[in-house]
Amino acid sequence: MRETVHLCFSSHDEVLYRNEADLIMGFNCLALAALETESRLLAEGFITTHNHKLAQTDNAKELARRDRYAYSRYFNAKYSRLGRLGERTSFLLTVYGVYHTQTTLNYVIRQALHHGLVYTPFEYPHCSANSFFRKELGKVSEPELCDARQRYKYLPHGVVLPEMYKISKDGLILREQILDTAYVEQVYITPRNFLYQMNRISDERMIKEQQGENELPPITLDTIEKGVPDFDVRAALLSEQGRVNTSAMTDLELCHIIDDILLPRYLKQSDGGSIYLLNRDKRADMGNSIWREARESFGQRANGLFSNKQTSVAQIRRCLAL
């Protein structure tokens, strides 16, 4: 019997996705795991340190296992890395009730907003926000598709995706083909309510709505992010109100500086390579250099690597896998 389950795959010590291609492959691995387990994927959202998804499945653990295994193989092969990727297990939470489901959908879709990456979920490309009520919200344009001969490049090694599933030119299996958009739209009922929920502030009314339908604990930000280490609820609630710190460097921006600009100097080669080819001492040395340059250049008018962008020791450590 299928149950509606929230799943979270996270990492404490290092980023899971170092660039846009990794985020795309992350969704593709999840999509394939959903197809293989005959699960219905309702919504998802990916950021560099973790992802959230809501699915209807009769084997949540197998869905999570296949997703993690496929992506870990890809990541380890790409970056010459060994060992387990991310936390030892995925966080699973079974959801009952329409209001509990709607609240979970809200938090899954809006996670980039809660982590201060965007002002609205619709501007973030690595989530389901733009997959629902497409006609009503004017999002009917079709993406350019990849050449049929190039499909294998965007899938885990050895996987063949049936031709009925299309892949965009940037390598993404089209979300609308995988997500059960009809079910999600029934939960929200109208596009107007969907827009309201995507811009809604978390408050006591959301809790009371859930308490009115069953005796189970209400879904909150604390509940959803329970599987994510060091999550700051207060900062997330501020981000909901549109208080986004645009001077904060994103993990993707820092990983770009590390992988594409600094790493070749350490490896003495023009392309390829990975930070995982550097021993811990050399990565620590790179981290110290980044921290010094970031502090010295912040606020300067010159267009340096870190001008007008703030980073932190914690961010540097996870982007260098220290």
In terms of Cα–Cα distance, which of 9, 14, 26, 24 is closest to 73? 26
d(CA 15, CA 219): 26
In this prediction, residue 296 carries a pLDDT of 78
* Residue-range domains of the chain with CATH: 3-240 (3.30.70.1290), 251-319 (no CATH)
**pLDDT digits over 104-157, tens only?**
999 999 999 999 999 999 999 999 999 999 999 998 888 899 988 888 888 888
202 compared with 305, residue with greater pLDDT:
202
**pLDDT digits over 110-121, tens only?**
999 999 999 999
Residues 6+ apart with CB under 8 A from 248: 116, 309, 310, 311
In terms of Cα–Cα distance, which of 157, 184, 154, 186 is closest to 169? 154
**pLDDT digits over 284-300, tens only?**
999 999 998 888 776 56
d(CA 75, CA 69): 10
**pLDDT digits over 73-102, tens only?**
999 999 999 999 988 888 999 999 999 999
Hunting for tokens 């733009």 — which residue is that?
A: 130
Residues 6+ apart with CB under 8 A from 190: none
In this prediction, residue 227 carries a pLDDT of 76
